Structure 1
């Protein structure tokens, strides 16, 4: 029954990530609910949804080629550094400490997704006449992504808006490429540290890939408000459950 739950969660995550994002809201809680320690669950969840980022990066390969190579290499270096530090922080976090911050991370990621369009619009307005790229901003976002992957795409898009970027295709291309590299370094660190539960991770990777394929027609058919409502419901529900686990009776 536990494996069925994980397969269903990963399949749903693949669909959500293809339609709009938010797959972490399903994979991470499902792993925790099967009894896996939170730190290992977060690491395994990162590996489980990892293949989807490669598909996105390949799909935007034309737009990625349009970036200046030196600029792209600089952004890659910052992203890998931030992801490495974030992954390292997770490795040294106790399950108790991680459990303490998880409800806030889930809630923050849900709010970021729900109000992502407004955040990007606000960032774009603040960025008028601004074209500089802040290394510190990307490093901090990458650190967050290495520690906890939820809502990473929305935060990256908002950051790109603050840099003055306006072409959404180029922004999504850069987001997909950097997210893939960030997840790759995180997965490598977690694997080397023995934090990944491989039987669950491999099964969930296959299910997430199948869900991503199945999500393509849904992405075309479902109205955006419906998708946002589904993900917001899942996100707020999971946040409430983890807050209850934190403050409720043991």
Structure 2
């Protein structure tokens, strides 16, 4: 009973975090591991459990989905899905020890991009315009990361788009939610086919994530952009510290 309640509450918080700023898997994944699910299976289960909440949030945000850095939504979605398939297959082939060591460094890159992105963008905008090939290539890599782990992939997308396009985080949030959901959609299909989901632990987390995603998305539409950015930076920094501690201490 305690485990069920814990997983429901973890899903609730994670779903709300994903809708607001991303990084929800850093609540759901430790919760699954704490009840005895192995790390790689826990990661696949976390992705599956948070997926319905992501769909809910994407539906709330649907009117705000827009082009990114001058590139249309459809080609961005296509490369995100392709990357998500590649990343989810790669996860299933990766040893847990390698998986644990890589994550903190990927998160550190994401956090650094979020902090420095707006400043770098001011100088870059006067010198270059991002080409479609650059945007799509970066998005494919982000799709791979999303399918592979998914933790803070939304933060990384916001950082990359902010750096290339100079738009504020709040205006990019609906597209971020849609692309994260697209990468997760193909990943969960791969995980289900591979038998990598811990169903007993997954179900209460799904229920919590659905509620959290709905509430978080509606809240995110009303919060000012500086608050959204502040939440994003706090989540990014906190999760980076947590995973460095987990991997090395």
How high is the TM-score relative to the length of structure 2? 0.79
2:142 is matched with 141
Unaligned residue ranges in structure 1 (runs of 5+): none
- 8 Å Cα contact 1:107-1:235 kept in structure 2: no
Pair 1:159-2:160 in alignment:
yes
Unaligned residue ranges in structure 2 (runs of 5+): none
1:119 is matched with 117
2:180 is matched with 179
Quick one: distance in 2 between partners of 1:21 and 1:101? 19
Where do residues 1-250 of structure 1 align in structure 2 (5 Å cutoff)? 1-64=2-65, 71-105=72-106, 111=111, 116-123=114-121, 125-128=123-126, 129-133=128-132, 134=134, 135-164=136-165, 166=167, 171-215=172-216, 224=227, 227=231, 231=235, 234-236=238-240, 238-244=242-248
Q: RMSD value over aligned CA atoms? A: 3.2
Give 1:42 shift. Answer: 0.7
Deviates more, 1:179-188 or 1:207-216: 207-216
Deviates more, 1:15-24 or 1:41-50: 15-24
Aligned partner of residue 165 in structure 2, secondary structure:
coil
Deviations 1:82-108 (A, max 9, x none): 111111110111223223334444555
Deviates more, 1:2-11 or 1:174-183: 2-11
* Number of positions where the alignment pairs a residue of Structure 1 with one of Structure 2: 240
* Cα distance change, pair 121–58 in 1 and its aligned pair in 2 (3 A): farther
* Cα distance change, pair 120–179 in 1 and its aligned pair in 2 (3 A): farther
Give 1:44 shift. Answer: 0.7
How high is the TM-score relative to the length of structure 1? 0.79
Quick one: distance in 2 between partners of 1:76 and 1:184? 11
